Amino acid sequence: MAAAPNVGGSLLGLAAARQTALIDNRRVLYAASGPNQADIMRRIISAETGGDYPRLKQGRLTAHEQQVAQELVQAPLLIDDGSDLTAESIAETAPYIQDLALVVVDRLQTAHNARLPLSGDRLPDASQLLASLARTLHVPVLAIVDSDDPALLGLLDADVTLTLAPTEVPAKVQVTVAERDFGTIGSAYLQHDLLHARFLDAEAAPAVRTAGKEPVRSLGSAVERELAEAVLPYTSGARQGLPASVTHVLAALRTALANNDQEALAEVGPSLAETAAAPQQLPDDAEGHRLAAALDAYNTPGSASATGQPAAGQPTSDSRHVPDDEDDAEAERAVRGR
C-alpha cells in the first residue's frame, strides 16, 4: 500500500486489520515498525466508536469506549511493536501463529533510520521476503510504504499495489489498485475522517469539465463495464481457471476503462470481440456464471461497444438483420446473469 506522508496509508492498513480481527473475528498479526501498540489501540477504538482521537490520546474514555477497549484486548489481534522489527523476524514469527488470516506491516519507511530496520535501502529485500511469506503461508501480507514514487514501487516489485493519491477535493483520496502483470484493475474514492482515525466512503469523483463543453463521461458501454467487473476475480488472481491469453485481453479492458483511455479501449476491441466469440470453459460457480453471462452479452447482436467496434456477431452495415424484441430481452437477461 503506497501513500505519501499524511495521505492515509496507515489508516487504510489499520482498517483492514480492524475489519479482519473485530468484524470477521479472524487472526491478524500487526507488525508496527512506526506507531506503538498503545497508539494503534487508540486509533482502533476511535474508528470503532466514533470517539475523538485527540481526546483518547489524553486517556479520557467514555464507558462505551472502555467496553470496546476490553473487547479489543480479547480480539484475535496480535500487535508487535518491537524497535528491532525486521522482515526476517516477521517471517519467522508468522508461521507459528495458528489460523493466521492477515499480516499488516506498518510501515516501510523510505528515509533511512538506524533505529528502524524496515527503512532506507533495505526495503526492496524486505518486500521480497514479505512476498515470499505470503506465498508460503497463503496469507495476504499488506505492507504500507510511505511513498508513492513509481521508481521505488518498481524496486519493491509487489504482486498487488494500492496507491493512495490526493484529489482536487480536500480530504478526498483516490485509491488505485494495480497488479504487477496486468496493470490497473480498479479504483475507488475515500474521504479522510482524521478526527476518528479512519476513512469513509466518498462519492465518485466529479466528471471532468472543460470550458464551454459538456462533462467527460465515464468510458465504455454498460456491457463493457459489466464484463470488466465480472472478470475482476480472475484478473486480480483471486480465482484461477482462465487461459492466460483470455486473462490478458480482459485485463487490458479493465485497464483501459480505469484509465479512461479511449485509444487503449479501441485497440483492445478486436481481441475482445474474438475472445467473446470463442467458447470458454468457465468454472461452474457464481463468478464463472457471471463472467459467462457478461461474455454472452458482449457477443450478443445489438450490444454496441463504446469503441465503435461492433461486438462479436453484431451486424455490419451490409447486414439486413435487425434485432427484434426477443434479441433485446435475451441481451438484458445475459447482463443480469439470466
Q: What are phi and psi of 20, to 5 degrees?
A: -70, -45
Of 214 and 288, the structure prediction assigns the larger pLDDT to: 288
pLDDT at residue number 329: 46
How does the average pLDDT of the chain come out, rounded? 82
The mean pLDDT value for 134-162 works out to 95
Of 136 and 240, the structure prediction assigns the larger pLDDT to: 136
Q: Are the C-beta atoms of residues 175 and 188 closer than 8 Å to each other?
A: yes
Res. 42: pLDDT tops 50 = yes
Q: pLDDT digit string (tens) for 66-109?
A: 999 999 999 999 999 877 899 999 999 999 999 999 999 999 99
User: What's the whole-model pTM score?
Assistant: 0.63
Of 223 and 322, the structure prediction assigns the larger pLDDT to: 223
Q: pLDDT digit string (tens) for 215-272?
A: 445 577 888 888 888 887 777 555 677 787 888 888 888 778 877 778 888 888 898 8
d(CA 270, CA 317): 17
Of 123 and 233, the structure prediction assigns the larger pLDDT to: 123
pLDDT at residue number 67: 92
DSSP-based three-state secondary structure for 214: coil
Res. 176: pLDDT tops 90 = yes
d(CA 103, CA 132): 13
Burial (0-12, 13-18, 19+ Cβ within 10 Å), 60: exposed
Q: Are the C-beta atoms of residues 108 and 129 closer than 8 Å to each other?
A: no
Domain ranges of the chain: 2-201, 222-335
CATH topology of domain 2-201: Rossmann fold (3.40.50)
Res. 137: pLDDT tops 90 = yes
Of 144 and 203, the structure prediction assigns the larger pLDDT to: 144
d(CA 207, CA 226): 20
